[in-house]
C-alpha cells in the first residue's frame, strides 16, 4: 500500500470527509517519502471569522454547562482516542515522520491530558481570602474566558492541540484550531475523533471545536479577531515575535510556546552509562525536531574523554530510516528547508572552529524527495555562532567546562529558556542547578534528558521561549478569568482602609 493510500484509509476509517483533503490548494507531503499525500481546501479570512462567530455562539451556551459535565465530554474524547490510538499514531508517523513508538506516544499524551482534565473539571478551585471588614466575605471565582485560538507547529501535530483543547473545554471555552500547514491531516483526524465524542455527549453546542486549514494568513485571522480571548501559539520564536504584539495591541491573552536551545551539563560524578542514553534520546530522538531537543552539552573536562568518544560512536551507529517500514530510531527531517538549515549551521560551526561528526544525508534511507540525515555531534571550542541559536535538526554542540557556577552562566547565556538538564550524583551540584542562581529555564531536570516531559507538570519556557505554560499543574488558570468577589452580609457599610464617607 502506498503512503497516500494508507493515509486515505486511516482518514476514512476515522470518519474524515474526503472533501476536506482533496482538490484543494494546500499540498500536504509525507516527510517519510516526500510524496504528496493530500490537497486540502484552505480557509480564507472570512471563513475563519465565520468559524470564530460560531465559536462565540457556542461559548454563550458552554460557559453555563457545569464544569464536571464539560469534563464528561473530555472523558469521552479520551475513550475515543484510546480506540483510535493506532490509527492516529500511524497518521502522525506518516505526516510528521515520527517513529511508530513516538507517534503512538504522542497519542498517549493526548489521552493523558484528557484524564488530567477530567479530574480538573471538579477542581477549578478559587480561594477564600481573609477580609479586613467585619461581616464580609471575600473570594475568588474562576469563570470561562471565551474563544481559544490554537496555532500549532508541525512537530507535535496533535498533542499540542489536546493540551489546549482538553483544558479549554473543561474550563468552559470553545476552540478554533489552526494546525501547521505541514500537518493538516492529523488535525482533521483529531477533529473527527472529537466529533465522535461530541455525538455521544449529545447536547454540546455547534461550533465548540473547529479546525481551520491554511498557512500564516489563516493564523493571522485568529490572531487579529477580538472575539478570540486567548491565542495559544506554538512554534518558532520568529512566529511568536509576530503574534505576541498583535494580540497585545487588542489586549487579548496569549500563551506563547516558542523555540528552545536546550542544554545538558555533565558533572564529574555523573552515571555515564545512564547519561549517555539520556543524551542520545534527548539529542537524536524525533530527528532533533522537538522543541525540547538537547542542542548543547557541557561536559566536565575530567570526564570528557570517557564520555564524548562513546557518544560519537553512538551517533555513528544509530539506525536511520523509514519509520513506517523499519525499526529505525531516527526518521526523516520534515523537508528540504530543514536539511538546508542543518547543513548551513554545520558549515558555520566548522568555520567557528568546530569538529563535525556525522551530519550528512543518508543515501538509500528513502527516496530523493525525503531527507534522512545522520545526526551530527559537533565538538566546539566555545559557545559561539550557530550554538547560540535553535536549528531545528539533530545537531548537538559539545563543549568542555571546569567550573560549575561559570558553566551555569554560560548555559543561561542564550536567548531561549525552555528545557535543561544536569547529570550528577552530587546533591550540591544538582541543587545548585535547580536553585535561583541555577538554570533559568522553564524546565530543569536532574539525571534525565531535556525532552520527554509528562503532562502533569506545567510545560513551557522563559525568555524567547515566550513564557507560556500549558498542560498540567495550574496551567488551567490561563484559560479562565478570575473574579474577586466581596460580599457584605452585615447591616453596616465599613469601607476598606478605614475610609470615612458619611452622607
Ligand atoms: P513555525 O513558527 O514555522 O509555525 C508554527 C505555526 O505558526 C504554524 O501553524 C504557522 O502557520 C503559524 N504561523 C507562522 N507565522 C504566523 C503568524 N505571523 N501569525 C499566525 N500564525 C503564524 O514553526 P514550525 O516550524 O511549525 O515548528 C517548529 C518550531 O516550533 C521550533 O522553533 C520549535 O522549537 C517550536 N516548538 C515549540 C514548542 C513549545 O512548546 N515551546 C513545541 C513545539 C514546537
Nearest in space to 395 (alpha carbons), one of 377, 411, 383: 377
Q: Which helix (H) or strand (E) holds 420?
A: strand 419-423
CB of 190 closer than 8 Å to CB of 184: no
Coil, strand or helix at 87: helix
Report the separation in Å between the CA atom of 335 and the middle of ligand 1, taken as the mean of its atom positions.
15
Is the pLDDT assigned to residue 262 strictly greater than 80? yes
Strands 395-401 vs 228-234: parallel, antiparallel or unpaired = unpaired
264, pLDDT greater than 80: yes
Name the nearest CA neighbour of 150 among 84, 34, 52, 46.
52
Query: Annotated catalytic, 257?
Result: yes
Most informative mutation of 48, 98, 153, 392 for ligand 1 (most atoms within 8 A of CB): 153
Q: Ligand 1 centre and the CA of 234: distance in Å?
A: 5
Closest C-alpha to 358, from 397, 399, 305: 397
User: Is 33's pLDDT higher than 90?
Assistant: yes
Expressed in angstroms and rounded, the spacing between residue 332 Cα and the centre of ligand 1 is: 19
- 316-337 per-position pLDDT tens digit: 999 999 999 999 999 999 999 9
Burial of residue 468 (CB within 10 Å: 0-12, 13-18, 19+) is buried
Q: Which residue, by CA, sits nearest to atom 8 of ligand 1?
A: 180
Q: Give the cell for residue 6.
A: 494508507
pLDDT digits (tens, 9 = 90+) for 380-427: 999 999 999 999 999 999 999 999 999 999 999 999 999 999 999 999
Torsion of Cα atoms, 287 then 291 then 293 then 296, to 10° = 120
pLDDT given at position 385? 96
Which residue in the list 114, 291, 464, 470 is annotated as catalytic? 291
Provide mean pLDDT across the span 141-164.
Answer: 98
- Give the integer Cα–Cα distance in Å for 299 and 275: 11
Q: Tell whether the model's pLDDT for residue 479 goes beyond 90.
A: yes
Q: In this structure, how many other beta carbons lie within 10 angstroms of the beta carbon of residue 249? A: 10
Identify the burial level of 452 via C-beta atoms within 10 angstroms of its C-beta, where 0-12 means exposed, 13-18 middle and 19 or more buried: middle
Pocket of ligand 1 from Cβ distances under 6 Å: 151-156, 178, 180-181, 215-216, 219-220, 223, 234-236, 239, 242-243, 257-260, 291, 390, 392, 418, 465
pLDDT for the residue 365: 84
Cβ within 8 Å of residue 101, ≥6 positions away: none
- Give me the pLDDT at residue 178, please: 98
Residue-level length of the chain: 503
As a whole-number percent, the residues of the chain with pLDDT over 70 amount to 100
Q: pLDDT at residue 1 above 80?
A: no
Q: Contact 376/315 with Cβ under 8 angstroms?
A: yes
DSSP 230-256: EEEEES-HHHHHHHHHHHHHTT-EEEE
CA distance 78 to 167: 13
Q: Which of 407, 418, 408, 410 is nearest to 444 (CA)?
A: 418
Instruction: Identify the CA nearest to 342 among candidates 396, 289, 393, 290.
Output: 393
* pLDDT in the model for residue 449: 97
pTM score of the predicted model: 0.97
Predicted local distance difference test score (pLDDT) of residue 364:
84
Terminal alpha carbon distance of the chain: 85
Q: What is the mean pLDDT of residues 145-156?
A: 98
pLDDT at position 21: 96
Residue 158 makes CB contacts below 8 A (sequence gap 6+) with 88, 92, 106, 107, 110, 186, 187, 189, 190
Sequence-ordered list of residues with C-beta below 8 angstroms from that of 2, at least 6 positions apart, any chain:
35
Sheet with 480-488, side-by-side order of all strands: 128-129, 136-144, 480-488
3-state DSSP assignment of residue 295: strand
The alpha carbon of 476 and the centre of ligand 1 are apart by a number of angstroms equal to: 22
Question: For 179-230, what is each residue's pLDDT tens digit?
Answer: 999 999 999 999 999 999 999 999 999 999 999 999 999 999 999 999 999 9
**Site to substitute for ligand 1 among 176, 238, 239, 345, most atoms within 8 A of C-beta:** 239
| Cell numbers placing 74 | 473530555
* Nearest residue by C-alpha to atom 20 in ligand 1: 219
Nearest CA to ligand 1 atom 22: 216
- State the chain's mean pLDDT as an integer: 97
**Axis-axis angle for helices 67-96, 3-13 (nearest 10):** 170
* 491 pLDDT above the threshold of 80: yes
Amino acid at each position: 500500500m502506498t503512503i497516500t493510500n494508507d493515509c486515505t484509509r486511516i482518514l476514512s476509517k476515522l470518519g474524515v470527509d474526503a472533501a476536506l483533503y482533496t482538490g484543494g490548494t494546500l499540498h500536504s507531503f509525507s516527510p517519510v517519502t516526500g510524496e504528496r499525500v493530500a490537497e486540502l481546501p484552505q480557509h480564507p479570512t472570512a471563513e475563519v471569522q465565520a468559524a470564530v462567530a460560531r465559536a462565540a455562539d457556542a461559548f454563550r451556551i458552554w460557559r453555563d454547562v457545569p464544569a464536571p459535565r464539560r469534563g464528561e465530554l473530555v472523558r469521552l474524547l479520551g475513550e475515543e482516542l484510546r480506540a483510535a490510538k493506532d490509527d492516529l499514531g500511524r497518521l502522525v508517523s506518516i505526516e510528521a515522520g515520527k517513529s511508530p513508538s513516538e507517534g503512538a506516544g504522542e497519542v498517549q499524551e493526548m489521552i493523558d491530558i484528557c484524564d488530567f482534565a477530567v479530574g480538573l473539571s471538579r477542581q477549578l478551585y478559587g480561594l477564600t481570602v481573609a477580609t479586613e471588614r467585619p461581616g464580609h466575605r471575600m473570594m475568588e471565582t474562576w469563570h470561562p474566558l471565551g474563544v481559544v485560538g490554537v496555532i500549532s507547529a508541525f512537530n507535535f501535530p496533535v498533542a499540542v492541540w489536546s493540551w489546549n483543547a482538553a483544558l479549554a473545554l473543561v474550563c468552559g471555552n470553545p476552540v478554533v484550531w489552526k494546525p501547521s500547514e505541514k500537518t493538516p491531516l492529523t488535525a482533521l483526524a483529531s477533529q473527527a475523533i472529537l466529533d465522535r465524542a461530541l455525538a455521544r455527549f449529545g447536547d454540546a453546542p455547534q461550533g465548540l471545536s473547529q479546525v481551520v486549514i491554511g498557512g500564516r494568513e489563516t493564523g493571522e485571522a485568529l490572531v487579529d479577531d477580538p472575539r478570540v480571548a486567548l491565542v495559544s501559539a506554538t512554534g518558532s520564536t520568529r512566529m511568536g515575535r509576530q503574534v505576541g504584539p498583535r494580540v497585545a495591541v487588542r489586549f487579548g491573552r496569549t500563551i506563547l510556546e516558542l523555540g528552545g536551545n536546550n542544554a545538558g551539563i555533565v558533572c564529574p560524578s555523573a552515571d555515564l552509562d545512564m547519561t549517555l542514553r539520556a543524551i542520545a534520546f534527548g539529542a537524536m530522538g524525533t530527528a532533533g525536531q522537538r522543541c525540547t531537543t538537547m542542542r548543547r552539552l557541557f561536559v566536565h573536562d575530567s570526564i570528557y574523554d570517557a564520555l564524548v568518544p562513546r557518544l560519537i560512536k553512538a551517533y555513528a551507529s544509530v539506525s536511520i530510516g523509514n519509520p513506517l517500514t523499519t525499526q529505525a530510531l531516527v526518521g526523516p527531517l520534515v523537508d528540504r528547508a530543514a536539511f538546508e538549515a542543518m547543513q548551513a549551521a554545520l558549515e558555520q560551526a566548522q568555520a567557528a572552529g568546530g569538529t563535525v561528526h556525522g551530519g550528512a544525508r543518508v543515501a538509500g534511507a528513502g527516496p530523493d524527495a525525503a531527507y534522512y540525515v545522520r545526526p551530527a555531534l559537533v565538538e566546539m571550542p566555545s559557545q559561539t555562532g550557530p550554538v547560540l541559536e535553535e536549528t531545528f535538526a539533530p545537531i548537538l554542540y559539545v563543549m568542555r567546562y571546569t567550573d560549575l557556577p561559570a558553566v551555569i552562566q554560560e548555559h543561561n547565556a542564550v536567548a531561549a529558556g525552555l528545557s535543561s538538564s544536569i547529570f550528577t550524583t552530587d546533591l550540591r551540584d544538582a541543587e545548585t542547578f535547580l536553585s535561583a542562581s541555577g538554570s533559568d529555564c522553564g524546565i530543569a531536570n536532574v539525571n534525565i534528558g531535556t525532552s520527554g516531559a509528562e503532562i502533569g507538570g506545567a510545560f513551557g519556557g522563559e525568555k524567547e521561549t515566550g513564557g507560556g505554560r500549558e498542560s498540567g499543574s495550574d496551567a488551567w488558570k490561563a484559560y479562565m478569568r478570575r473574579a474577586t468577589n466581596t460580599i457584605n452580609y452585615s447591616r453596616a457599610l465599613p469601607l476598606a482602609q478605614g475610609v470615612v464617607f458619611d452622607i
